[in-house]
Chain A
Amino acid sequence: MNIVVCVKQVPDTWAEKKLSDSDKTVDREGVEGVMNELDEYAVEEALRIKEASGGEVTVLTMGPEKAVETIRKALSMGADQAVHLVDSGLHGSDALTTSYALAKALETIPHDLVILGVESTDARMSVIPAMLAERTGAAQLTFARKVEVGDGTVKIERQTDTGYDVVEAATPAIVSVVEKINEPRYPSFKGIMAAKKKPLTTLTLGDAGIESEKVGLAGSGSSVAEFSARPPKQAGQVVKDEGDGGSKLAEFLASQKLV
């Protein structure tokens, strides 16, 4: 089974994230870029499927030049090759246009399965997997906490608020994964050295047949009108234990969907 893993470079999870004043997009230059954490689980799952049943794993990344660091990490974990969609015309693309660009790039890579993390830690829209399924006509299997591949089929356990659903589809399919699914491996020294020699194809808008007016800031259907800094932290809620402290605590955790 040939698998494409969509991997995004995001600002370091712990770094202070900023929007640029000029065009109101995420400032990606001033902070260290890392692989979106959930995508590590996607890479791991793809590698496990490959190790169990063969095929090739291709990394697909849309992002500026700098995103190649993240591509290298996915390759050093064990992916076979990578496609980097990089073009200044893509700058400022929203989710809708990103899904269009990724869908076009996917057309250049033969595959049975696309695996992604459920969301990126910078935008946190969690819509790209569904949009990609819609655009490519592939089956949509999202929020997977377990993936099983069969002969031309994929079955997942779809995480829900109360448990899980079993969802099955024929390939091609788009699968998004949650962090419960596995423990991502660390890139080894050998893997890092091997990654240097793995094929990395770069695609421009033209190469992928992407119409430039449909992407980027101008092509996006949504735009950031204004933004302001996060308000300072508010004081926490104090719960006084009057014999019902335990249930109040449970209520709070449930309201935050933590239990």
Chain B
Amino acid sequence: MSTDVWTTPERAALRAAVRDFCTKEIVPHLDQWERDGEVPRTLHKAAAEAGLLGVAFPEEAGGQGGSIIDQTIVSEELLYAGASSGLLSALFTHGIAIPHLVKSGNADLIDRYAKPTLNGDLIGSLAVTEPDAGSDVAAIRTRAVREGDRYIVNGAKTFITSSTRADFVTTVVRTGEDPHRGISLLVVDTGSPGFSVVRRLEKMGWLCSDTGELAYVDVRVPAANLIGEEGSGFIQVAQQFAGERLGLAVHGYGIAQRALDLTVAYTRQRNAFGRPLISKQVVRHKLVEMTRAVEVSRTYARSITERIAAGEQLFAEAAMAKNQAIEACSFVVNEAVQLHGGSGYMRETEVERHYRDARILGIGGGATEVMNDLIAKALFG
């Protein structure tokens, strides 16, 4: 019996269940959801009933009590089985919207937001980015002013995933002047007067994942919706970065694996000049390079995931895993389209979608350049 933590009988069973779910509940509808510009709430409910939404969240918060390894298995298998990076970002937005709230241990917030979200009844978003502040979180200007037992919030957020459908938005707000210690996290109900989705943004890829621009005008938020201490927002957000970056690394090598599988299948059945494409050396070598890129990225990301699951703090390594996987992904999806020839450029061909979806991965969740800065700081001071 293998001692590999990725292939235990339970994880093999989890993989099989995820593949089954993906094949029946996602793949047949994905094209329609891409056209719709969003995934339906029924998908959240179905995924919750299958136990997929909260695999790595603690049972006390309505989760399944698994680890980051189990969550990785879920994401990997969804991608390998034909879901998309955009689908994952839409369905698992709570993966960035509620971890701070759960970690705070605030039973009231967990009951009101975490449990119903993991149950598939609520949708949550995380709002960090503003028109003038992205990776530079300390530059955010959306302000929350305490008045008695509530905060009054004013400001704007943009590029917010799932926010046009969201029931609540975990919002990064400024409660003080210090760039870092003046930042707090507030849960804002999207039904609150003064909160509005200004527009639904149209994107290059991730079409089934809705993205919004948000306005907060004198939005009254109960002080009970503050996550953790006032002024602890920056550190809370930063603590989740490693997990989020590893999650995007999985998107990277997961999409790449899928695009590679599709390309191998295509080049086997496609004949040119009297022989299958896959028999030609130039194609074979390209497929090998694509395979190598995927394997190396997956192996490195998984090794970091295992160490983080064991309790290590590995911010620079998680950033490297992200950059490695995303570089591999960009290379693989580009070659996948190339090897599909004309059909690779068609909307009806799956690799075309992965090509577009992949482009965001080096921008979102910390741009490649920001990751490199962070790694450089860890390595060279």
Contact = CB atoms under 8 A, between A and B. Distances in A.
B64 A189 contact: yes
B65 A190 contact: yes
Interface stretch (B9-17, B191-199, B203-211, B368-376): B9-17
Contacts of B228: none
Interface size class of A (residues with CB under 8 A): 10 to 19
B366 to A, nearest CB: 28
B14 A185 contact: no
B13 A76 contact: yes
Nearest to B48: A188
Interface stretch (A120-128, A165-173, A191-199, A214-222): A191-199
Interface majority SS (helix, strand, loop, mixed), chain B: helix
B13 A188 contact: no
Interface stretch (B49-57, B97-105, B251-259, B306-314): B49-57
Contacts of B51: 186-191
Interface in A207-251: none
Nearest to B56: A189
Given A186-B51, A188-B64, A193 B10 contact: yes
Contacts of B55: 189
Interface of A, helix, strand, loop or mixed by DSSP: helix
B65 A192 contact: no
Contact of B17 (A69, A187, A193, A196): A187
A139 B21 CA distance: 35
B9 A72 contact: yes
B20 interface: yes
B13 A72 contact: yes
Contact of A190 (B9, B13, B20, B64): B64
B65 A186 contact: no
B327 interface: no
A69 B49 CA distance: 22
Contacts of B14: 189, 192
Contacts of A189: 14, 51-52, 55, 64-66, 70
Given A189-B55, A190-B65, A196 B10 contact: yes
A243 B354 CA distance: 45
Contacts of A17: none
A73 interface: yes
Contacts of A191: 51
Q: Which of A186, A190, A196 has the most CB of B within 10 A?
A: A186
A145 B17 CA distance: 25
B50 A186 contact: yes
Contact of A192 (B10, B20, B21, B49): B10
A196 B64 CA distance: 15
A15 to B, nearest CB: 14
B189 to A, nearest CB: 29
A192 B70 CA distance: 12
Interface in A125-155: none
Contacts of A195: 13
Contacts of B17: 76, 186-188, 192
Contacts of B21: 186
A69 B16 CA distance: 11
A187 B13 contact: yes
29 contacts: A69-B13, A72-B9, A73-B13, A73-B16, A76-B17, A185-B50, A186-B20, A186-B21, A186-B49, A186-B50, A187-B13, A187-B17, A188-B17, A188-B51, A188-B52, A189-B52, A189-B55, A189-B64, A189-B65, A189-B66, A190-B51, A190-B64, A190-B65, A191-B51, A192-B10, A193-B10, A193-B65, A193-B66, A195-B13
Interface of B: 9-10, 13-14, 16-17, 20-21, 49-52, 55, 59, 64-66, 70
